[in-house]
């Protein structure tokens, strides 16, 4: 609620009920309304502070999520590179094994 609309409501209230202003019961209600308003003001201030802290926490969480996402992509690229290297090493090992087997078979042929 904007301050100007609050002021207009207060003005309407005081204009519409001028006889109650001098009534002792009404002044007690006004004091209660004033304390209620102070309590509401405190609650609003706490709510604003809570919203600010939650926004900061959310921003920090989003920043951390972005950082972790970047790290994940870097790790995925590294894993892919290592998988390709393992495939290449396995292929090289198979070639070396075939060459050794061929050499061994040639040695066996010489002994016969």
pLDDT tens sequence across 53-85 = 999 999 999 999 999 999 999 999 999 999 999
Give, as one character, the DSSP assignment of residue 18.
S
77/74 Cα distance (integer angstroms): 5
Which pLDDT tens digit goes with each residue over 38-49? 999 999 999 999
SS3 call for 1? coil
């Amino acid at each position: 609620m904007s301050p100007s609309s609050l002021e207009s409501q207060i003005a309407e209230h005081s204009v519409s009920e001028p006889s109650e202003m001098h009534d002792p019961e009404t002044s007690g209600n006004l004091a209660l309304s004033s304390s209620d308003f102070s309590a509401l003001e405190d609650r609003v201030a706490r709510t604003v502070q809570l919203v600010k802290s939650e926004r900061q926490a959310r921003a920090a969480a989003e920043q951390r999520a972005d950082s972790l996402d970047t790290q994940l992509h870097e790790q995925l690229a590294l894993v892919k590179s290592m998988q390709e290297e393992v495939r290449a090493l396995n292929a090289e090992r198979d070639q070396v094994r075939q060459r050794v087997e061929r050499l061994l078979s040639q040695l066996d042929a010489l002994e016969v």
